[in-house]
């Protein structure tokens, strides 16, 4: 029996990585640029990032943070001050060594632009900003009265990615990075955990992506941090994506940058610092968590347009009346709110065949498609398609009922996507006890055409970083986190070393 037709080829179960790339293209979210490893984020994709930015920026300001901006270029000497941090990013750094180009004639008559004017000190294009923001903090902080410093930056960063994939891993990407300085270790740890919770809530309530919140092992920790907290999402091929991190940096960066203050005891002290961030990788997470074989499926809260109204005009003489009816409905819907904001509505009046327009919005993942034709005007009805229920799901509704219940319909779509993602995660999260169970869980049954397998393995663990290296090399797995929550605390025996363990950790393959 042949597989049903779909808009995306290959289908998810045939080639998940290629399916993902095709979904991004079909939805017109982004494309590869002329610069290897970098992407052009197209308007529909950037609309997602703007909504993510808007939501998070409001949460940051509610928790007392303010925005600032710091230089793109970081002196190499700044990174050298924090050796562990610099070493962690060394292989990913792009370095600026010259400040001028000169035109030089070549023997074949062509002209080439040659870098000249070598810099006295190279600059690194920021892979992250702890060092240069630390230098600013050192200038800004004199007394305990200047603390806490609660700063966020919206910016781009560069990490020279060798195996790029749109949104998930690109050489240049967009993100926010929070940086804070505190009087005490307790205050800094409280900040670290607060922002970790902000990310957990954001993924669950805004993107409809359930996550496991936990702490990274020493092997997986952010370079230079004492503690790294993470939120880990499972996507539809059962792999994990690190969707956000929050770091307790202790006094390591303060010592390197000289962030000192006069304490309440009138003695010089080093500040305690944190950093935390999420990036455009969240868009990749969103796609992999919710999309189907017909394209993207967007939760209403993040969708650039929550409702698209499609005029159906089989005869030219009906066009004006149908479009007037569509515009009137759009105005009515825009006067209403969903999740505390005006409903975002677009009327697609392009002179395209109705089927082509409909499929374009299906692939883009708009939550609700509303069709209105001459007969609908006559009957005072609308045809409503909910993307979360599938590409072909449509229901005729009285127009007044739709207007009255639109907020509930959007809420149902948001909740349905979260429930579906949670069901997938729960079905593929297993408590395992032995090495043989671990091996079977993460080994494809058919090497010729590996099936989608594995998931989250909850294992007792008392191993070392070297033990993690061995498992990673053989099974391509990592400890995604040591999960928070009492349900993961129980006495047992490490499946790899046999040593006593008081808590389970999450093993998974990952992006």
pLDDT tens digit sequence for 198-208 = 999 999 999 99
If pLDDT is split at 50, 70 and 90, which confidence band does 314 have?
Answer: confident
The predicted pLDDT at position 447 comes to 44
* Measured CA distances, 323 to 280, 308, 310, 357 (Å): 36, 13, 9, 15
The predicted pLDDT at position 1 comes to 42
As a whole number, mean pLDDT of residues 90-94 equals: 91
The predicted pLDDT at position 81 comes to 86
The predicted pLDDT at position 19 comes to 97
If pLDDT is split at 50, 70 and 90, which confidence band does 6 have?
Answer: confident
The predicted pLDDT at position 453 comes to 65
CB-based contact 228:168 (threshold 8 Å): no
What does pLDDT average to over the chain? 95
If pLDDT is split at 50, 70 and 90, which confidence band does 358 have?
Answer: very high
- How many CB atoms are closer than 10 A to CB 421? 24
pLDDT at 213 over 50: yes
pLDDT at 451 over 70: no
Higher local confidence (pLDDT), 175 or 451? 175
Q: Tell me the pLDDT tens digit for each residue of 29-38.
A: 999 999 989 9
Region for 485 from its dihedrals, namely left if φ exceeds 0, alpha if ψ lies in -120 to 50, beta otherwise: left
H-only helix segments in 27-162:
43-62, 76-81, 83-89, 130-140
pLDDT at 103 over 90: yes
The predicted pLDDT at position 449 comes to 47
Percent of the chain with pLDDT over 70: 98
The end-to-end CA distance of the chain, in Å, is: 33
pLDDT at 408 over 50: yes
The predicted pLDDT at position 2 comes to 46
pLDDT at 5 over 90: no
Higher local confidence (pLDDT), 272 or 82? 272
pLDDT at 459 over 80: yes
- How many CB atoms are closer than 10 A to CB 396? 12
As a whole number, mean pLDDT of residues 236-251 equals: 97
Domains of the chain listed by start with CATH number: 16-290 (3.30.930.10), 307-415 (3.40.50.800), 429-508 (3.30.110.30)
pLDDT at 365 over 60: yes
Backbone phi and psi for residue 449, each to the nearest 5 degrees, phi listed first: -140, 85
The predicted pLDDT at position 446 comes to 47
The predicted pLDDT at position 435 comes to 97
Q: How many Å apart are CA 244 and CA 48, to the nearest integer? A: 17
Model pTM score = 0.95
If pLDDT is split at 50, 70 and 90, which confidence band does 88 have?
Answer: confident
Give 510's strand partners.
Answer: 240
User: Before 241, cis peptide (omega within 30)?
Assistant: no
The predicted pLDDT at position 212 comes to 98
The predicted pLDDT at position 450 comes to 52
pLDDT at 413 over 70: yes
């Amino acid at each position: 029996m042949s597989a049903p037709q779909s808009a995306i080829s290959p289908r998810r179960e045939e080639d998940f990585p290629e399916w993902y790339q095709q979904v991004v293209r079909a939805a017109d979210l982004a494309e590869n640029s002329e610069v290897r490893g970098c992407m052009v984020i197209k308007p529909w994709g950037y609309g997602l990032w703007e909504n993510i930015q808007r939501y998070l920026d409001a949460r940051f300001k509610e928790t007392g943070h303010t925005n600032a901006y710091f230089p793109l270029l970081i002196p190499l000497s700044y990174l050298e001050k924090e050796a562990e941090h610099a070493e962690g990013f060394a292989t990913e750094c792009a370095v600026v060594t010259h400040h001028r180009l000169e035109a030089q004639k070549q023997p074949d008559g062509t002209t080439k632009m040659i870098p000249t004017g070598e810099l006295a000190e190279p600059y690194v294009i920021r892979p992250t900003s702890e060092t240069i923001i630390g230098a600013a903090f050192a200038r800004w902080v004199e007394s305990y009265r200047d603390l806490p410093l609660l700063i966020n930056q919206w910016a781009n960063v560069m990490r020279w990615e060798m195996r790029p994939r749109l949104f998930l891993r690109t050489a240049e990407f967009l993100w926010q990075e929070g940086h804070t300085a505190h009087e005490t270790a307790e205050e800094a740890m409280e900040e670290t955990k607060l922002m970790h919770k902000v990310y957990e809530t954001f993924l669950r309530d805004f993107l409809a992506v359930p996550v496991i919140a936990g702490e990274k092992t020493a092997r997986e920790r952010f370079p230079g941090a004492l503690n790294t907290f993470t939120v880990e999402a499972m996507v539809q091929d059962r792999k994990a994506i690190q969707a956000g991190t929050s770091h307790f940096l202790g006094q390591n960066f303060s010592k390197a940058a000289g962030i000192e203050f006069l304490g309440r005891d009138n003695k010089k002290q080093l500040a305690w610092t944190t950093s935390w961030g999420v990036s455009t990788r969240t868009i990749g997470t969103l796609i992999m968590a919710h999309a189907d074989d017909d394209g993207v499926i967007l939760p209403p809260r993040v969708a650039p347009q929550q409702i698209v109204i499609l005029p159906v005009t089989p005869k030219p003489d009906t066009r004006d009346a149908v479009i007037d009816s569509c515009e009137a409905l759009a105005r009515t819907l825009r006067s209403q709110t969903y999740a505390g904001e005006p409903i975002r509505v677009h009327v697609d009046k392009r002179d395209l065949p109705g089927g082509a327009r409909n499929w374009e919005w299906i692939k883009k993942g708009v939550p609700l498609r509303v069709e209105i034709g001459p007969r609908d005007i006559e009957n005072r009805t609308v045809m409503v398609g909910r993307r979360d229920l599938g590409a072909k799901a449509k229901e005729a509704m009285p127009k007044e009922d739709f207007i009255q219940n639109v907020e509930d319909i959007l809420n149902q779509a948001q909740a349905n996507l979260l429930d579906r993602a949670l069901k997938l995660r729960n079905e593929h999260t297993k408590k395992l006890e032995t090495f043989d169970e671990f091996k079977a869980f993460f080994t494809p049954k058919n090497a010729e055409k590996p099936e989608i397998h594995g998931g989250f393995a909850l294992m007792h663990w008392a191993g070392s970083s070297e033990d993690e290296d061995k498992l990673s090399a053989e099974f391509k797995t990592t400890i995604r986190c040591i999960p928070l929550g009492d349900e993961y605390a129980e006495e047992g025996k490490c499946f790899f070393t046999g040593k006593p363990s008081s808590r389970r950790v999450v093993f998974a393959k990952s992006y």
